[in-house]
Amino acid sequence: HVPRALMPTQEKRVVLLIDPPFEQADELGRCVAALGEALGRMRQTIGVIWYPIKDERQLKRFYQDLSRSGAPKLLRAELLVHPADDVSRLNGSGLAISNPPWGLEEELRELLPWLAEQLGQSQGGWRLDWLIEES
C-alpha cells in the first residue's frame, strides 16, 4: 500500500512506481487500490504500475478496474515477446501510467515498435492506448 506518511508531499509532482512480486493471486487488484489511494492523496501523482502479461482473462479484469480507478488519465503501454495467448509463460510486460508526463506517449509510440522488433522471441508486438483519456 501507499506510504501514507509520505503523501501528500510539498513537491507538486511525485512518481510512484508499483512493482509487486506477483506472488499472491490478488496482486493486480492491490495495485489498482494503491494507485487509487495515491491519487486520492495527491491527484497529480504520476503512478506507474508494472505488470506481467500472462493470463489475458486476468488482465481484462485488471484493465476494467484501472479504467474505474478515478485517475484523471491513464496510459497503457505493453511490450510482447511472445503471443499474448500462451498462459504457460511470461509473454511480455506492461505499464499502466496515470498522469503521464507530456510527450511520453509520442516517445513510446516511436520506441515500442523498435523494442518489439529487437526483443521479440517467438513473436514481438506492442500496444499503446489510453484506458482513461483526459476529459
Which strands make up the sheet holding 15-18, listed edge to edge?
15-18, 46-53, 92-98, 74-80, 125-132
Does the annotation count 19 as an active-site position? yes
- Give the separation between CA 92 and CA 33, rounded to whole angstroms: 23
Rg of the Cα atoms in the chain? 15
Q: Is 75 helix (H, G, I), strand (E, B) or coil?
A: strand
- Give the separation between CA 82 and CA 15, rounded to whole angstroms: 30
From 32, 63, 61, 37, select the one nearest 49 (Cα to Cα). 32
Residues taking part in catalysis: 19
